[in-house]
Amino acid sequence: MGASAATGMQMVAARPCIPACQRMLGSRSVVSAFGRALSTRTGFASCVKTASAGPLISVTRKSFAVRAMSQGAVQGLPIDLRGKRAFIAGVADDNGYGWAIAKALAAAGAEILVGTWVPALNIFETSLRRGKFDESRKLPDGSLMEITKVYPLDAVFDSLEDVPEDVKANKRYAGSSKWTVKEVAETVKDDFGSIDILVHSLANGPEVTKPLLETSRSGYLAAVSASSYSFISLLQHFLPIMNPGGASISLTYIASERTIPGYGGGMSSAKAALESDTRVLAFEAGRKGKIRVNTISAGPLGSRAAKAIGFIEKMIEYSYVNAPLQKELLAEEVGNAAAFLVSPLASAITGSTVYVDNGLNTMALAVDSPTLST
């Protein structure tokens, strides 16, 4: 076990199992609660039953019974990630997209490892240990998501040599070690050998409330470093231990291509860079390691991190009123989309920005605009 075991929490438990989908006309297949949940809630899969008898057709006085034979009803198309191991960077509580993605992957059978920002590590581990997250850990089949190990991580720093002395001496980092991207990747390799799925759920802009015209150079570069280059760094260091056929995914936002007043400090630029990098990395990682790379453009969610923007509730209300699907966007919907994108069902999808925002990205005019009511 790597040295980070002193700071990371390890939990041993059986992972949830999802049976693989059998052939369409094969013997009886069993579908997990997660597969059924996807069928009824997300529309990923549907139950199909083949008719047992068809019409009679007469050809030169000879009758042939045309019959669609069914040797067992197909029960859906489950997402099966059994035997896969996922590292999710950026999980520090139970109400963000990173947590929702972890739950969806766990429900599909994947083993879950998470990287938690060092200053938040103690609170996160303590909350897990005391059962504070037990209710939100519940999976569709009633079991609880198990996190095999929590790693301390600060994705702003690639290696220990990059860490300034004031950060090393900061008491919030005391007691933790091997938390740079390179060190975490090495520790995961020592602990488990390899992973199959890499999730980037990180973003930070110290001047996010400032208009771009008032953003400092350091604030702008900090936003790009934490929110987009961190993905490059993670993939760069984890790619050597990712199994061929694996997948990586990140989270972006519509501000990358549309102006969102108030979403400042260089964050819109960071998201645009992230989407551009997704396309380039899809080529490079695909050719080098047969790894797929996609990003999800998720709608607004009232997570603790998002509240730093200052007007997240108004963004959620705007989305509800103006999106084609007039409903609340749930974190689990983003989690389900991520589970699909990293699964074999999406084996030909890479370099894509996938919108999970109730369709808000398609709108060019706000339907609640006062102009439309005059």
User: Which pLDDT score is estimated for 23?
Assistant: 36
The order of strands in the sheet holding 147-153 is: 147-153, 111-117, 85-89, 195-200, 242-252, 292-298, 353-356
Range 284-300 average pLDDT:
97
Does the pLDDT value for residue 1 go beyond 60? no
Rounded to an integer, the average pLDDT of 308-312 is: 74
| Catalytic choice (253, 318, 320, 355) | 253
**pTM exceeds 0.85, yes or no:** no
Looking at per-residue pLDDT, the higher value among 46 and 321 belongs to 321
pLDDT tens per residue, range 62-82 = 333 333 333 444 467 889 999
**Is residue 151 annotated as a catalytic residue, yes or no?**
no
Bigger pLDDT: 45 vs 287: 287
The model's confidence at residue 13, banded by pLDDT at 50, 70 and 90, is very low
Q: Which of 245, 246, 355 is closest to 297 using CA atoms?
A: 355
Residue 199 and residue 330: Cα distance in Å, rounded?
19
Q: Which residue carries 């998720």 as its tokens? A: 298
Domains and their CATH numbers in the chain: 85-359 (3.40.50.720)
Residue among 151, 263, 320, 355 flagged as catalytic: 263
In DSSP terms, which residues pair with 341 in a beta bridge?
Answer: none
